[in-house]
Amino acid sequence: MPTLFSGYRLGAALTLPNRIVMAPMTRVRAADGGLATPSMAAYYAQRATAGLIVSEGVQPSVIGQSNPGTPGLHTDEQVASWRQVTDAVHVNGGRIFAQIMHGGRVSHPSTTGLQPVGPSAVPATGNVFTPSGPRPAPVPRELATEEVPEHVRSYADAARRAVDAGFDGVELHGANGYLISQFLSSNANLRTDRYGGGITGRIRFAVEAAAATADAVGADRTGIRLSPGGVFWGVEETDAAELNVALLTELARLGLAYVHLEATAGEEVLRELRKTWTGTLIMNPVLPMGPRQTGPEEARHWLELGADLIGFGRAFIANPDLVERLRAGLPLAPVDESTYYTGGDAGYLTYPAYRYGTGDPVSVPA
């Protein structure tokens, strides 16, 4: 059986030195205009020993922006700003995919200047982030049938820009209650046209977005992240097992680089999805933002169950040298959750590598 430290061939061009994936995590450190910054370049470069880095969510359009302070890939200036990030990762020996994230209804007019859009006029549950603090999620404008292909194309257009910016590939964010997830949902998608209704209609947007992206940059540069049965932002998938088997069956025809699953369903469902998807599987073994972080035991369990790569999220925030710590069995530094979304370099660039000789975890800087 492979270990976390076995090499892996991903697609036609990438050889990963290990099976540890840095999962995408929103950090809201972008500059005005959705530009990547030198601090972002340093942050990702510090973590370049990961077999693969998947960036934070990157909006493919103005209306696709969910949170303030997040980066984009829909202008020439944004593309140019990302080159410092991809260059820094590559100089440090790493590989990086851009996660393309359209927020759909999880947005606010005070963030984008536009009314959010969604598959139906059903608001997300809870408060969304805005420049003036959390505010109730607004009712989105339901997309007309003839408008939907424009939003499908936005993923492909952003993917082209990502490759131009030096990314090795892209991951479509189809999870966690954002636009693709909203189309998959049985309660956020109340449509009766070809993008709604039964399972065939509800998976159509995801399949079309993946197909358009694969056509734009190549299937072996295209992955997708999914949260089967997840309930983020109030979405539901009442038929999660059947829905996701159907989705993966269609995605398998495209020859994508990988599917990235979150542990949002029971293990029996996830194992069935592994059987359905015979290509490369990245598995996030624990619930995102749940009480536990992924550790060696969870990783080993899913490698035994047939996952090819293992996603680590929060552990990478406080441990830029996570690969080395896992390899050597070193303790992990705790993360300061209060700095997740505060901007600035504190809690972003201030976590050092393990200090050999102390015998203790590195403490979180004040």
| Closest residue by Cα to residue 201 from 186, 216, 212, 213 | 186
Whether 61 contacts 16, CB under 8 Å? no
- Give dist(CA 85, CA 40) in Å, integer: 7
Q: In degrees rounded to 5, what are phi and psi of residue 258?
A: -170, 165
Which residue is associated with the tokens 């102390």?
358
Strand ranges inside 144-289, DSSP E: 169-174, 222-226, 258-262, 281-284
- Left, alpha or beta for 69 (phi > 0: left; psi -120 to 50: alpha)? left
Residue 179 exposed, middle or buried by CB count within 10 Å (0-12, 13-18, 19+): buried
237 contact partners, CB below 8 Å, separation of at least 6: 184, 185, 186, 228, 229, 230, 243, 244
Active-site residue, 178 included:
yes
3-state helix, strand, coil split of the chain in percent (to 5) is: 35, 15, 50
Which residue is associated with the tokens 């998608």?
189
Which residue is associated with the tokens 């607004």?
138
Which residue is associated with the tokens 């829905």?
243
- Give dist(CA 153, CA 116) in Å, integer: 17
| DSSP structure class, residue 35 | B
Neighbours of 21 (CB within 10 A): 27
Residue tagged active-site, from 43, 44, 155, 178: 178
Active site residues: 178
